Amino acid sequence: MSLTEAGHRYSEFVDRILTEIDQEDAELAQGRDTAAGTLSIVCPRWIGTLELGDAIAAFSVEHPLIRLKFDLGGMSDRTYDFLDKGYDVAFHTRDLRDSNVLLRKISDLPFALVAAPSYLAKHGEIVDFADLATRESLVHINDPVWRLGHGADAVHHKVHNVALLSNSYLAIQKLAVAGRGVALIPRRSALGELADGALVEVLPQLAAPDRALYAVHAPGGGTPEKVKVFLRFMSEWFRRHDREEDAAAARAGGATKV
């Protein structure tokens, strides 16, 4: 038996297809084992404009072979939706329980209740929790209720007297420095203002609890090397900045993070 002319053409076609499949498999395997290629990341807008943005910038400088796609906002309540949209990693600041994804805690994000000395001088010091109800508040749209204190001392303040409602903690911080009201903001972004006295902590006996920062990615044993490298870098970057923050607070004579 021998192949016809059409049979020879088909055999050559099949050989080419099988060779391309082998080459593609090899490239994909190399991509899983190499910290290179495109890494797509999504996170809430507020954290992306603060320290997470700084951490990702530092990662990009240290790993130039990884091309980043970094989107802010558009987060879904369904934890796994980021996978359907083509993202490799999503960041959250709420507790997650979903077997469809893998979760890694990156850091704790400290918050602080603050006001400008000029505001307190004009409207009076805030000496206890009840005083908050009489003060103007600068509120993030995701924080209609302020959680303060720890354990048995924990309290919840439902904000009513709102001078500003915004989706930007940076805007809230600027208005707080300008003396417009009391604000609950990420501590790290306000370290300079707290150190130089432009802002002071309010009700320090009811310190705001930290908020956990989580990174989630696709389940399975074949996590790409670029994702592994990225998650390790994020964890170490935040650990290093936690230490630097504590050292800066100590130099300024302030309290370390609780």
pTM above 0.85, yes or no: no
Task: Give the residues across from 89 on adjacent strands.
Answer: 41, 217
pLDDT of residue 22: 52
- One fold for both 34-109+211-251 and 111-206? yes
DSSP state of 251: H
Pick the CATH number of 111-206 from 3.30.70.2190, 3.40.190.290, 3.90.740.10, 3.40.50.300: 3.40.190.290
Burial degree of 6 (CB within 10 A; 0-12, 13-18, 19+): exposed
Residues 135-163 have pLDDT tens digits of 999 999 989 999 999 988 899 999 989 99
- Give the Cα separation of 194 and 205 in Å (integer): 17
Burial degree of 172 (CB within 10 A; 0-12, 13-18, 19+): buried
pLDDT of residue 255: 43
- Give the Cα separation of 144 and 228 in Å (integer): 36
Helix (H) or strand (E) holding 39: strand 37-43
pLDDT of residue 24: 57
Whether the CA torsion 173, 178, 183, 188 is positive or negative: it is positive
pLDDT of residue 153: 86
Residues 83-122 have pLDDT tens digits of 889 999 999 987 777 667 888 999 999 999 999 999 999 9
CATH class of 34-109+211-251: alpha beta
Per-residue pLDDT of the chain in tens (258 residues, 90 and over written 9):
667 877 767 777 777 776 666 555 545 544 445 788 999 999 988 888 888 999 999 999 999 999 999 999 877 777 778 988 999 999 998 777 766 788 899 999 999 999 999 999 999 999 999 999 999 999 999 899 999 999 888 999 999 899 999 989 999 999 999 999 999 999 988 989 999 999 999 999 999 999 999 999 998 777 899 999 999 999 999 999 877 766 665 655 554 332
Q: Pick from 204, 183, 177: which is nearest to 137 by CA?
A: 183
The residues spanned by each domain of the chain are 34-109+211-251, 111-206
